[in-house]
Amino acid sequence: MKRIAIVTGASRGLGATLARVLAARGFDLVLAARDSPDLDRIADELASDAITVITRIGDVADPFTRNTLIDAARYLGGLDLLVNNASELGGLAPLADVESGRLERLLRVNLIAPLDLTRAALPLLRERRGLVVNVSSDAAQGAYPGWGAYGASKAALDLASRTQAAELAATGVGVVLVDPGDLRTRMHQEAFPGEDISDRPLPEVTRPFWEWLLDQPQDGVSGRRFRAQEEKERWLVEA
């Protein structure tokens, strides 16, 4: 049976890297992003006689966009893997200076959208005992000055994901958290405007982790939080 995955935020960076890993493993893909040109480029790169790639342009905070992703997976035949990778930094500022509208936007993108997309995907995921991967951040645990709003949204996602893993254990659906670490991506550059971030590794550095994770039975990893740039021995013991 052909495996099928949804990856949000797939037009570049970590999402594009993961899409390449999945395509190499023969997954059919539903790829989502807000930017059409970059997403089309990735789709053209990955599509082949053996791999079907469906793209959907839109904001994951929009319920319509989320519904189109589920519809596309259903069209392909089901869903084995949901990767909630799309995130928004929202600019860095002390929490005392963060207006409620900006905080609400971050929570809609970084917390509510992954949870709502997971909820909508559950009927398909149950059929195949699938896995949900929620992309986290060290900012969820680091209490870094200026990162409070973004970190709070990711910390909330961490707790919600672990709770959901426990709630779904009997259904055969797994939920894991992955902290990819500092990477040379556009979003990371946004956090350090005008600075040279060339010392950060490219997202491809996480590829060995993804290859490992995709070989694990979901009931052996569900509920756990992984750091994708750690050594393999640390992947296995991460709480």
Max Cα separation, the chain? 53
Please, where are the H alpha helices in 47-131? 63-76, 100-107, 113-128
Distance set, CA 237 to CA 83, 116, 175 (Å) = 22, 29, 17
What digits encode the pLDDT tens for the residues 100-122?
999 999 999 999 999 999 999 99
The model scores a pTM over 0.85: yes
Please, where are the H alpha helices in the chain? 13-24, 36-46, 63-76, 100-107, 113-128, 139-142, 148-168, 186-191, 207-213, 218-221, 232-237
Strands of the sheet containing 28-33, edge to edge, are: 53-57, 28-33, 4-8, 81-84, 131-135, 174-179, 225-227
Written as tens digits, the pLDDT of the chain (239 aa) is 899 999 999 998 899 999 999 999 999 999 999 988 999 999 999 989 899 999 999 999 999 999 999 999 999 999 999 999 999 988 888 999 999 999 999 999 999 999 999 999 999 999 999 999 999 988 888 888 888 999 999 999 999 999 999 999 999 999 999 998 765 555 554 555 565 556 667 788 899 999 999 999 988 999 999 988 876 666 665 54
| Residues labelled catalytic | 150
Domain range annotation of the chain:
4-237
Residues 6 or more apart in contact with residue 189 via CB below 8 angstroms:
197
* 4-237 belongs to CATH 3.40.50.720: yes
Ramachandran region, residue 146 (left: φ > 0; alpha: ψ -120 to 50; beta: rest) = left
**Residue 53's closest CA among 93, 24, 88, 87?**
24
What angle do the packed helices 148-168 and 100-107 form, to 10 degrees? Answer: 30
Q: Note the pLDDT of residue 41.
A: 93
What digits encode the pLDDT tens for the residues 64-100?
999 999 999 999 999 999 999 999 988 888 999 999 9
The per-type count for the chain, helices as H runs and strands as E runs, is 11, 7
Q: Note the pLDDT of residue 163.
A: 98
- Bridge partner residues of 225 (DSSP): 177
- Bridge partner residues of 5 (DSSP): 29, 81
DSSP secondary-structure letter at 83?
Answer: E
Q: Note the pLDDT of residue 239.
A: 45
